[in-house]
Structure 1
């Protein structure tokens, strides 16, 4: 049985990050792989955050929630959800509090999610070359539906990271991305056309194969829209609700 590692955003408190990690694990297990999640060391972000410390950052996050246009009950529920996220969801991934760095593997898969989004200021992710394969202990290194997020080639060049990232990308045995921006960056930095794949969330048959999804019946039609707080304007929200 092949031992495969997934290096992703599995420790980020985000529904999308959890769903893609869970889906990729299940897809690999269907192929007969033994799957583990691999952690990376978080280095300082490339873009320096002017917030003085972690406490100030968390305080500002609370202020953001308070300023959201939602009821008090919804705001309290959201904050409780953030606090209990890891306790509730990490066990479903088979991830414990113990970090798993550089285990010996037959193959290391980097992705899905914005694993290549290295020009940003989030201290929970930072700038980590391990997400580009540095110091891995695997026989093969590939990415699957990886994304640079809002990192562009111009940003990589502006922060003088393009050559370094290019060096590491060229060491991959195969690169798969999920969007055109990421594909163009890979092509420019490696000279090779990457493979385009759907995000695992859209590939895995959650409704028919996942036994963790609760069963319920809703007669009326509905739409679920997933986005970060504040990303949808009032006009967009009104149009969607009509």
Structure 2
């Protein structure tokens, strides 16, 4: 039995980060002859960072909201922590590059996992995500993302990336950039780990009961400034369809009377909300992925900047029209019907390719 050490952002209280961590951890453990543990690397830049930081910080501006939702905020943190029990974890806990380099975990194979852990523009940037703590010859990157990162900031980490046996990047644009940096290496792509599990494998984790008995439209936002721009779209959908609006995610609650704030929602509730919704409006990459997987009609909001993650997945399943930048674009696309049978077929093919690639290179 070969032991694999997988490093990724596994305990940032963010739906996508935690769901992709679980998915790749599970995929690797289900391959015969291998046992995979998540390396418990939690640097200071992640500790206590629940994304919806305004609710958890001491910023005076949000004091009243924190008081109003004090109970829900505590419960929300608890459901995220509960989800971590689904991981297969290593024993050691590391909180800095220095700690993990001083006493590195011992594995036969080391894997850098998914999420934007090679986007070194982020405050969470760390050489540990480039496996700098080990001289092993068995280093792989599976579905890793550089986000919108450009070549220049990545040069600092070149010597670490050169040591990888195989590199598979999540986005095509990222793979192309690394191919320019390392023309001698074969740089490939792999879909996000959440798509490597079948819909039925996610369904077995969650309660079959609907999270809301009424029909509803779900809105999952990760940024306050994006949600401000999404609110006119959301209000239009509310008035057009006369359905409850459930707002959830990494944002502050909204006080509009037509909005229901669902604060106590961890990764498993995230799946249920998307599964049972009549429509999803999201600015999130993983909100888009799970809408596709659960065949829930959706719109993916994007700002004026390019977004290789969202653009790439929508292009792959031929659903580019589902990306909207404003209310007018949403109104134009409302009557378009998503061919979910085609989507399901494409995702199934991509899943098979990804699983075969991983088994082939290990």
Q: TM-score range by the shorter chain?
A: 0.7 to 0.9
- Secondary structure, aligned partner of 2:209: coil
String of CA shifts for 1:55-107, please: whole Å, max 9, x gaps.
Answer: xx92249839949xxxx56x863x23453255312211134895164321121
Aligned to 1:235: 232
Q: Identify the residue that residue 104 of structure 1 maps to in structure 2.
A: 106
Task: Find the aligned partners of 1:40 and 1:201 in 2 and give their Cα distance.
Answer: 21
Query: Which position in structure 2 is the counterpart of 1:149?
Result: 147
How far apart, CA to CA, are the structure 2 residues paired with 1:43 and 1:90?
18
User: Does the CA-based 8 Å contact 1:169-1:186 persist in structure 2?
Assistant: no
Q: Distance between the aligned counterparts of 2:16 and 2:110, measured in 1?
A: 21
Q: 1:20 to 1:63 in 2, by over 3 A?
A: same
Match of residue 12 from structure 1: 12
Structure 2 regions of 5+ residues with no counterpart? 47-52, 95-99, 241-362
**Larger CA Rg, structure 1 vs 2:** 2
1:48 matched residue in structure 2:
none
Q: Are the aligned partners of 1:108 and 1:141 in contact in 2 as well (CA < 8 Å)?
A: yes
Q: How big is the alpha-carbon RMSD for the aligned residues of Structure 1 and Structure 2?
A: 3.6
Greater share of residues in helix = 2
Query: TM-score by structure 1 length?
Result: 0.73
What secondary structure is seen at the aligned counterpart in 2 of 1:114? coil
For the pair 1:197 / 2:196, whether they are aligned, the reply is no
Per chain length, whose mean CA-contact separation is higher, i.e. which structure has more relative contact order (CA < 8 Å, sep 6+)?
Answer: 1
- 8 Å CA contact 1:13–1:82 kept in 2: the answer is no
**Structure 1 or 2: larger strand share?**
2
1:21 & 1:197 partners in 2: Cα distance? 15
Match of 1:35 in 2: 36
TM-score w.r.t. the length of structure 2 is 0.51
Task: Provide the secondary structure at the position in 1 that maps to 2:122.
Answer: coil
- What residue number does 2:133 align with? 135
What displacement does 1:162 show? 3.5
1:91 and 2:85 equivalent? Answer: yes
Deviation, 1:137, is 5.8
Give the whole-Å Cα distance in 2 for the aligned partners of 1:64 and 1:189: 47
How far, CA to CA, are the matches of 2:20 and 2:10 in structure 1? 9
For the structure 1 residues 61 and 147, does the alpha-carbon distance in structure 2 shift closer, same or farther, using more than 3 Å as the test? farther
